[in-house]
């Protein structure tokens, strides 16, 4: 069975040993990958842009992974298009936790 896209994932998470990141394993800069880093303040549309990109890729039936933020699972951290060797990632610091 062909998976439906975008495939959801997490590239970072808190663990008993501290924060664990898998971003460096999501792409290979020596294999022709293009990585685009989005920077901007809260509410500027970084996550919305990545979700729209993932949706457009899914509409085209492209292999696509949508990485969510472990601190805010409703927010996107990255979109990975492995067949096209493209990654778009949020380059801002994690959101501050508000209690």
* pLDDT tens digits for range 24-76: 788 888 899 999 999 998 889 999 999 999 999 989 999 999 999 888 888 89
Looking only at the bridges linking them, the beta strands covering 34-38 and 86-90 are parallel
With a CB cutoff of 8 Å and minimum separation 6, the contacts of 47 are: 69, 75, 76, 90
pTM: 0.80
């Amino acid at each position: 069975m062909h998976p439906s896209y975008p495939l959801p994932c997490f590239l970072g998470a808190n663990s008993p040993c501290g924060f664990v990141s898998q971003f460096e394993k999501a792409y290979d800069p020596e294999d022709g990958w293009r990585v685009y880093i989005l920077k901007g303040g809260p509410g500027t549309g970084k996550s919305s842009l990545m979700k729209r990109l993932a949706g457009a890729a899914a509409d085209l039936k492209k292999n696509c992974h949508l990485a969510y933020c472990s601190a805010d699972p409703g927010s996107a951290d990255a979109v990975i298009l492995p067949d096209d060797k493209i990654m778009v990632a949020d380059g801002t610091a994690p959101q501050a936790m508000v209690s």
